[in-house]
Structure 1
Amino acid sequence: MSLADEYGTDVEIYRRDDTVYADTRTGAPAQLLERLDSLGFTRKSRAIHTWHELPEGLNQTEVKRRSIRAVLLLTAAGYDANISHDLYDKAVHTTVVAQAKSASMKTTRVPPRPTPSPSTRRNR
């Protein structure tokens, strides 16, 4: 049984010793596992259990940034994701949200409405 199973969530992100884990519920959908892969976590498995870990060697700010970003993006995608209190940092959270808003504004431009050409206008 995974930690996510115990808490009834989709993902639990926490630190044990020097490793940060993203523990998913048993039978987690492939899209959730792939999303964690894309968020910088490395997939691991043993027998029937699958989990993710952050790579070793990241500084503490990067560990918190990746963990908080993962929880925010997973939650926005409709997953129930939690982060342990020792990985949460309000300043990092604020920075991650600001970066996400900035990136969103750059990618969600509304294209200008095309002007009809004279040949497509109706004559009355």
Structure 2
Amino acid sequence: MSLADEYDVDVTFYHRDGTIYVDTRANASERLLALLDDLGLDRHSSLDDVWHQVPDEMDEIAMKAMADRAAPLLAHAGYRLGTDTGLFGGTAYRAELAAQSAHRQPPTPAPHPVRPRRTR
């Protein structure tokens, strides 16, 4: 059982020993795993366990920036996320949220109710 399974989310981000890990459910789709690959995260596996992590050669600021960009994209794709407190919220995270808001279609205004005309 993965941490994502334990927390009942599709993807969970956590920070341990200087590395940011990205854990998915044990039965994660190849589509989700490929999306994490495409976001620049390194895929690792051991026996039946698969996880991703931010590349080790990155410094702490670059690791957080990469995770900050990945989280909103995953949420926008419809995945439920769990995260360590304080892991997100940096400049890259806020910029990605703003970019997504700019591309979002405005809601359709509700039609005005037609009032019957008064006649005398």
Aligned counterpart, 2:67: 67
Deviations 1:82-109 (A, max 9, x none): 221231134442223345567x59xxxx
Aligned counterpart, 1:117: none
Aligned counterpart, 1:112: none
Q: Secondary structure at the match of 2:70?
A: helix
Q: Structure 1: how far apart are the matches of 2:63 and 2:85? A: 13
Aligned counterpart, 2:117: none
Larger helix percent: 1
Q: Structure 2: how far apart are the matches of 1:100 and 1:66? A: 16
Q: Secondary structure at the match of 2:97?
A: helix
Q: Assess if the C-alpha contact under 8 Å between 2:23 and 2:51 holds in 1.
A: yes
Q: Secondary structure at the match of 1:32?
A: helix
Letter in 2 for 1:20: I
Aligned residue pairs, count:
104
Q: Structure 2: how far apart are the matches of 1:82 and 1:65? A: 17
Normalising by structure 1, report the TM-score: 0.73
Aligned counterpart, 1:3: 3
Map 1:50-89; keep pairs closer than 5 Å. 50-89=50-89
CA-atom RMSD in angstroms = 2.0
Aligned counterpart, 2:93: 93
Aligned counterpart, 1:118: none
Q: Which runs of 5+ in 2 are unaligned?
A: 105-120
Deviates more, 1:55-64 or 1:69-78: 55-64
Deviates more, 1:77-86 or 1:89-98: 89-98
